[in-house]
Amino acid sequence: MKYRSQARAKSTLRAYHGDWKDFQAWCDDHKVDALPASDKVIAQYLDSLASSYKYSTLSRKVAAIAVVHRTAGFDTPVGRITKDTLKGIRRTKGNRQTRKAPLLAEDLAKICDLRSITVQDKALLLVGFAGAFRRAELIGIDWEHIEWFKQGIVITIPRSKTDQEGIGRALEIEKTGNDLCPVAALHAHRAQAGPMGPRGPVFLGALGRRLYSEAVGRIVQRSAKAIGLPWRQYGGHSLRAGYVTQAYEAGMSSFDIRQQTGHRSDQTLEKYVRTKKP
């Protein structure tokens, strides 16, 4: 049995772990069981992700759910409904991933003026934009990862898509002194934790658990819709794309932008630029 644990690459196991955590959070949010899950629930989960993910990624998520069930001693819940849903997604989308529109500073200003915006959503949007975070990085932030300074904050990212060894990197976010200050928004969110101080995940979903990554896209879409934008064109990547696009238009060098985004190459970075300077 000692070789069984080596049957899958460590990177695959890490992806499965993240996939399962997201599925659990989605189930919590929708008040359905994750373990054991039903075939119908998994299909509904796929439907909710279809506009934001490649077919290959969705297939991996289904595989992760099946593996966790078998490991826990349950029969695989992946049945005809899930398989037909995957086939339908593949036929409709192929393997292409829709490039989401960038959410820019002027859009964020309108969103933050909304009376309906929550303190947490405001902090998530502004920090997500200022840090150019990937969704997994954003929802993975714990309060213990944040250092507070007079000029701003430093957020330690323990692991990211391009740092699978977990070396980590520190990302600085400065105070802006205006209504769109991400540090002030995060401080206001922190204050809601009460006199005992916050612990654990910064951004919470249902039942007080860590927000799942797909929920970031829903928050962005809901916010975009509230200010009259074509909300279906927006998603979780809109914050990261918005930062990169805005930075390019402001004349920042690609090297400086990559210091914030964590991209390894200009070629990959440029995929996030939705409009360019003439």
Could you give the dihedral angle defined by the CA atoms of residues 32, 34, 39 and 45, in that order, rounded to the nearest 10 degrees?
70
Q: How far, in Å, CA of 155 to CA of 141, rounded?
A: 8
Residues forming the active site: 134, 161, 237, 240, 263, 272
- Residue 274's SS3 state is coil
Provide the β-strand partners of residue 152. Answer: 174
Q: How far, in Å, CA of 113 to CA of 122, rounded?
A: 10
CA 194 and chain centroid, separation: 26
> DSSP secondary structure string, 159-218?
-BTTBTT---EEEEEE--SSTT-HHHHHHHHHHTT-TT---SBSSB-GGGPBPPHHHHHH
Q: Both ends of the chain: CA-CA distance in Å?
A: 61
Q: What's the half-sphere exposure (Cβ side, CA atoms, 13 Å) at 248?
A: 21
Residues in the chain, overall count: 278
| Cβ contacts of 50 within 8 Å, gap of 6 or more | 58, 89, 92, 93
Alpha helix (H) residue ranges in the chain: 10-30, 39-49, 55-71, 80-93, 105-112, 119-130, 135-139, 182-191, 213-226, 237-249, 254-261, 266-269
CA 206 and chain centroid, separation: 16
Instruction: Please report how the helices 213-226 and 119-130 are oriented relative to each other, as an axis angle in degrees rounded to 10.
Output: 100
